[in-house]
Amino acid sequence: MSDALLAAIRDGARVYDLSRPYQIGMPQSPNHPAYWHSLPRRHGDHYRADGSSAANDVITLGTHVGTHIDALAHVSHDDRLYGGVDAKEAQTGGRFSTHGVDTVPPLLGRGVLLDVPGALGLDACDPGYEITPDDLDATVERQGTAPAPGDVVLVRSGWGRRWDEGEAYVGRETGVPGVSEAGARWLAERAPAAVGADTIAFERLEAGKGHALLPAHRVLLVEHGINIIETMALEEVAADRVHEFTLIAAPLPLVGATGAPVRPLAVVVDHG
């Protein structure tokens, strides 16, 4: 981290938390184990000689629940991971020897928010709406924020406004807006360090089809080696029309895992 960024943070730079809080019952993909939290030891169960007491926790969750990053080991195509790695051999022993989330470096660099509905004059994209390359081009032009190689590119659909609606956010019956294969290829052509979105599955889901096909995952993870961040909170930063920032994020280094929780932060330095 540069001295200038450290000084800006000390001087009160704005920080936007782009992650969702973990809580029992939060919306999630039906394909992954739910988040659970309990207190196996509570205050008053035991006292030390000086009268003090302590509590502690146990949590369980799938690695693709809440705001998380997909490792390259998460998706294969014809039994091959990114770079032609044999997926079945790589998972021998119960964890991935290649492309696990522990190999994802911390992200620190330029972040770009592509606020698609904002650029199109909408509050949010319709359920099941496909964000096309034309939409992404129009968003870049209207915002004046062209992604560059190595950036982290975040695509807002506005679906995050439904987070508190539970199953409506999951969108099984309605579908969910997002990029599909064409949009993913548009993103991959810009060579980002990672991409992210405000939905559970990143990409467009057709009404009633659930997660039957996820072409954007194949394009990004398998074909191009680009990590995906999902279930992001993008409403606040979009409302403030902040489209460029310093993005800081680091996944938990779970050795050989296909994904991990991550807490992305957008840091904005006001010059003036």
- Which domain CATH number covers 205? 3.50.30.50
User: Which residues span the domain enclosing 133?
Assistant: 3-21+63-268
Residue 43 lies in a domain: no
Taking CA atoms, 270 is separated from 237, 242, 244, in Å, by 14, 11, 12
In angstroms, the CA 4 to CA 10 distance is 10
pLDDT in the model for residue 9: 62
Residue 49 lies in a domain: no
**Residue 262: CB partners within 8 Å, gap ≥ 6?**
19, 67, 68, 69, 229, 249, 250, 251, 252
- Residues 91-111 have pLDDT tens digits of 999 999 999 999 999 999 999
Could you say which residues of the chain have pLDDT below 70?
A: 1-10, 271-272
Residue 58 lies in a domain: no
Residue 141 lies in a domain: yes
pLDDT in the model for residue 249: 98
Residue 56 lies in a domain: no
pTM: 0.94
Count how many domains the chain has. Answer: 1
- Residues 182-192 have pLDDT tens digits of 999 999 999 99
Environment class of 151 (CB within 10 Å of its CB; exposed 0-12, middle 13-18, buried 19+): buried
Residue 37 lies in a domain: no
pLDDT in the model for residue 7: 65
Residue 68 lies in a domain: yes
The side-by-side arrangement of strands in the sheet containing 152-156 is 14-17, 265-268, 244-249, 107-115, 152-156, 194-197, 227-230, 68-70, 259-261
